[in-house]
Structure 1
Amino acid sequence: MKKEWTGPLEKIDEYRYRIPKSYKSGMRTSGIIYTDEKLLKSICQDQALDQVANVAFLPGIVGSSLAMPDIHWGYGFCVGGVAAFDVRRV
């Protein structure tokens, strides 16, 4: 059964949306989704955005937890997700 996204999404501009760091206590950074309004509707149909938020909890993350337009649910880390880490901060 698919779980639809119900969390907050802030529109940054025509092709970027933000899951704010304040969404869940303990998130180290925000999540940024690169998409347009049309694709966003289908992206919100599964748990991929929850996975973007979950990556934002990881120790050592640098910058934002990112999601490209091909984002879809994966095993732990969403397919189409990107994150950079500093091993000195882990």
Structure 2
Amino acid sequence: MNVKTTITLPENYLRYAEKMVEEGVFPSVSSVVEAGLEKMMHDDQASDPLTGMADEIRRRMELPRDQWIPWDGDGIAGRVKEKLKAKYEK
């Protein structure tokens, strides 16, 4: 559902939006503003660490199995602990 509203933009923003419409990139100034808001909403989701982690896991799951890193449980945990210890002892 679209809702009509009125906004105030700095002149340089309005000129840029109008230029985008003139060049045929967007059909209207409203569409330019909508695209900017859509990008900000997407960027907020992308900056969420859990979303980023889920995306990375999905990406890695698509790799061929011969490229997977073997899981050796205690060995990995030990290496992580060593790296953290070294990092925080400096």
- Compute the TM-score of the two structures, normalised by the length of structure 2: 0.24
Larger RCO (alpha carbons 8 Å, 6+ apart): 1
Q: Give the greater-gyration-radius structure (CA).
A: 2
